[in-house]
Amino acid sequence: MAEIPAAHDLIAATPLFAGLDRADIAAVAEHCRERRFPKGEMLFARGDPGERIFVVREGQIRLAVATAEGKELNFQVAGPGDMFGEIAVLDGRPRSAEAVALTNVVCLTLERRDFHTLRADRPAITDTVIAFLCRRLREVSDKLEAIALYPLETRVARFLFAALRGREAGRGRMPLELPYSQSELAALLGASRQKINAALGALEDANAIKRTSDRLFCDRQILARIAGLAEEG
Q: What is the pLDDT of residue 218?
A: 92
Helices (H), the chain: 7-13, 22-31, 86-91, 112-121, 123-149, 152-163, 182-189, 193-205, 220-227
Q: Decide: residue 212, CB within 10 A, 0-12 exposed, 13-18 middle, 19+ buried.
A: exposed
Residue 74 to residue 78: CA distance in whole angstroms: 11
Q: Residue 71 — pLDDT band, cuts 50, 70, 90?
A: low
Q: Residue 123 — pLDDT band, cuts 50, 70, 90?
A: very high
Q: What is the pLDDT of residues 10-19, one digit of tens each?
A: 999 998 998 8
Same fold, 7-141 and 150-227: no
Residue 52 to residue 88: CA distance in whole angstroms: 8
Higher-pLDDT residue of 69 and 22 is 22
Higher-pLDDT residue of 98 and 185 is 98
- b or e along 54-72 (b: 16 or more beta carbons within 10 Å of the residue's beta carbon)? bbbbebbbbbbeeeeeeee
Class for the domain spanning 150-227: mainly alpha
Q: Return the biggest CA–CA distance within the chain.
A: 56
The domain locations on the chain are: 7-141, 150-227
171 pLDDT higher than 80: no
59 pLDDT higher than 80: yes
4 pLDDT higher than 60: no
Q: What Rg, from alpha-carbon coordinates, does the chain have? A: 19
Q: What is the pLDDT of residue 136?
A: 80
Q: What is the pLDDT of residue 177?
A: 79
Give the chain's mean pLDDT. 85
Q: What is the pLDDT of residue 138?
A: 81
Higher-pLDDT residue of 103 and 178 is 103
Higher-pLDDT residue of 180 and 61 is 61
Cross-strand partners of 58:
106
Calculate the alpha carbon distances from 42 to 26, 60, 73, 129 in Å. 29, 12, 16, 27
Over residues 178-193, the mean pLDDT reads 76
* Homologous superfamily of the 7-141 domain (CATH): Jelly Rolls (2.60.120.10)
